[in-house]
Amino acid sequence: MSEPKPIVRRPLMRWAPLLVVGVLGLLLAAGVWMSRNPNREALPSPLIGKTAPAFELPVLHEAGRLFGTRDLQGAPYLLNVWGSWCPACRDEHPVLTRFAETKRVRVVGFNWNDEHADALRWLEEFGNPYWIVVTDRDSKAVIDWGIYGAPETFLVDGKGVVRWKFVGPLTDKVIADELLPKLAEIERGQ
């Protein structure tokens, strides 16, 4: 610090690394911008546009009763996969409850891989937004539906065709931007 610094020519080349990094930064910023859409990389479910796989499963609240896709035909329904073991389902719960209260469509709960008592307690504690809840303790229907986690949500129309699928917790934005337009499409009979 004490000795005087010699005056050296500062070649422009010195700025080259910064330029390279700047370009790289722009690219990464574009990447971040694109990653706003969480489903960017997710392949659309192969089920979309196809008939929903049939299931017949026990009803959570009525021992002995079976309920399945056949009983749901005729009107659209939203199938929501959840479990009491799934913290993200807790995050999603108020959003789903608000949506279910609009009564636009039947919301079917698909309780996956859960203990019967835990599932009932969970619904009692936080409220039950579902029209009906079926249970798939042994993952029978899960594979047919291509479910690989909870929460996942499917929109099925009155003819039993899967029209939309969402992986991860629903948000108000997803419902407004994706679910409601799809539902309107179904209601218009498209």
Partner 1 sequence: MLPELGQIALILALLVAALQAILPLIGAQRGIPAWMAIARPAAFAQFALVALAFGVLTYGFVSQDFSIKYVAINSNSLLPMVYRYTAVWGSHEGSLLLWALILSIWTAAVARFSQRLPAEVIARVLGVMGAVAFGFLAFLIFTSNPFERLLPAVAEGRDLNPLLQDPGMIIHPPMLYLGYVGFSVPFAFAIAALLDGRIDARWLRWTRPWTNVAWAFLTLGIALGSWWAYYELGWGGWWFWDPVENASFMPWLAGAALLHSQAVTEKRGSFRGWTLLLAIATFSLSLLGTFLVRSGVLTSVHAFASDPARGLFILVFLGIVIGGSLVLYALRAPSDDSGAPFNVASRETLLLANNLLLSTACAMVLLGTLYPLLADALDLGKISVGPPYFALMFMVLMAPLILLLPFGPVTRWQREQVSKPLAMLLPWGVLALLVGVAAYFLTPQSSWKVLAGVLAAVWIVVGTLRFVWTRFAQAGRQFTAEMLGMTLAHFGIAIFLVGALLTEGLSQQREVAVAQGQSVELGRYAFRFDGAERYQGPNYVGDRGTVTVFHDDAPVTVLHPEKRAYTSGGQVMTEAAIDPGFSRDLYVAMGEPLGGNSWALRVHVKPFVRWIWGGALLMMLGGLVTATDRRFARTETRRVAAGEAMETTA
97-116: contacts with partner 1 (CB under 8 A): 113
Among residues 103, 106, 174, which one has the least CA distance to residue 134? 106
Interacting residue with partner 1 among 8, 63, 64, 188 (CB under 8 A): 8
Question: Strand pairing of 152-156 and 66-68?
Answer: unpaired
* 7 lies in the site for partner 1, by CB under 8 A: no
Among residues 112, 115, 120, 116, which one has the least CA distance to residue 136? 112
* 144 lies in the site for partner 1, by CB under 8 A: no
E strand map for the chain:
56-58, 66-68, 77-82, 106-112, 132-136, 152-156, 162-167
* 173 lies in the site for partner 1, by CB under 8 A: no
60-99: contacts with partner 1 (CB under 8 A): 84-87, 90
Taking CB under 8 A as the binding criterion, the range among 17-25, 72-80, 100-108, 151-159 that sits at the site for partner 1 is 17-25
Q: Which residues bind partner 1 (CB under 8 A)?
A: 1, 5, 8, 10, 14-15, 17-18, 21-22, 24-25, 27-36, 38, 41, 84-87, 90, 113, 118, 139, 142, 149, 168
